[in-house]
């Protein structure tokens, strides 16, 4: 039975996801658009665990490498990620978590691209763990928050409140400001940096969702009226 489910995950599920996703239209902010058109950035990408599906579909076939748990459930995610034209390393992102983090560092040293879900694989939700700091420190690269906001979505009753766009939803792919990580930090500085990354990712998610709603419903959210946006609006062609 498990072999059959794995086969479905690697063949039929991606086809269904692509057909479903064809009803969802996503607008890129200028930096995200440049990335999709072939621009490269030397950084470590960070997205929330709940954004995996929509980000994988939107940025498919761009051979960005992510980290997938060695847990049995991770095998399904691994098959789907590969079916979307993305790369994956199996293992843990925490300090002392085996060879996975060193494989990611090797990929970065060769000019490859890596994306981590710093609150994965099992939460708590929106809790940034130390693994992404370790990767940024050892690589010398900044952390780049990314997300795809949605005008309408379902949130599953999972620990991460996994996001699935409603049919005919609108999306907005947004990038935050890169966050430089010092090579050496005290425990207090490290804790502050983890909070800073988490705050930046939460703010980006809220802004991207607000922009997606504006695209679909034609009105600015209270969030966008209350503060200046770091991204040009409307986006450049």
The torsion angles phi and psi of 139, rounded to 5 degrees, stand at: -85, -20
User: Residue 128: what pLDDT?
Assistant: 96
Q: Where are the domains of the chain?
A: 2-226
- What long-range pairs does 130-134 form, CB within 8 A, spacing at least 24? 130/94, 130/95, 130/190, 130/194, 131/92, 131/93, 131/94, 131/95, 131/97, 131/101, 132/44, 132/46, 132/93, 132/197, 133/181, 133/185, 133/190, 133/193, 133/194, 134/95, 134/101
pTM of the model: 0.83
Q: Tell me: the pLDDT tens digits for 67-112? A: 887 766 666 777 777 777 788 888 765 544 567 888 999 999 998 8
pLDDT in tens, 198-231: 999 999 999 999 999 999 998 654 444 444 344 4
From 68, 70, 72, 58, select the one nearest 21 (Cα to Cα). 58
Residue 7: both structure tokens together: 């086969």
Using CA atoms, how far residue 203 sits from 126, 128, 142, 165, 210, in Å, is 11, 14, 18, 19, 11
Model pLDDT for residues 124-161, shown as the tens digit of each residue: 999 999 999 999 999 999 999 999 999 999 999 999 99
């Amino acid at each position: 039975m498990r072999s059959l489910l794995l086969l479905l995950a690697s063949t039929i599920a991606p086809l269904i996801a692509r057909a479903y996703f064809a009803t969802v239209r996503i607008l890129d902010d200028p930096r995200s658009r440049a990335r999709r058109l072939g621009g490269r950035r030397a950084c470590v990408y960070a997205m929330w665990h709940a954004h995996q599906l929509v980000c994988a579909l939107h940025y498919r076939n761009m051979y960005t490498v992510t980290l997938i748990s060695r847990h049995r459930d991770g095998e399904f995610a691994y098959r789907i990620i590969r079916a979307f034209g993305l790369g994956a390393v199996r293992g843990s992102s925490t300090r002392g978590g085996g060879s996975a983090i060193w494989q990611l560092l090797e990929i970065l040293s060769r000019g490859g691209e890596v994306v981590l879900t710093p609150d994965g694989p099992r939460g708590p939700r929106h809790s940034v763990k130390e693994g992404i700091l370790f990767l940024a420190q050892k690589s010398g690269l900044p952390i780049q928050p990314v997300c795809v906001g949605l005008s309408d979505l379902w949130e599953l009753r999972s620990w991460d409140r996994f996001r699935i766009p409603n049919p005919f939803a609108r999306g907005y792919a947004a990038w935050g400001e890169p966050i430089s990580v010092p090579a050496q930090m005290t425990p207090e500085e490290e804790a502050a940096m983890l909070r800073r990354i988490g705050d930046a990712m939460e703010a980006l998610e809220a802004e991207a969702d607000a922009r997606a709603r504006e695209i679909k419903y034609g009105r600015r959210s209270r969030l966008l009226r209350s503060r200046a946006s770091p991204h040009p609006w409307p986006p450049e062609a």
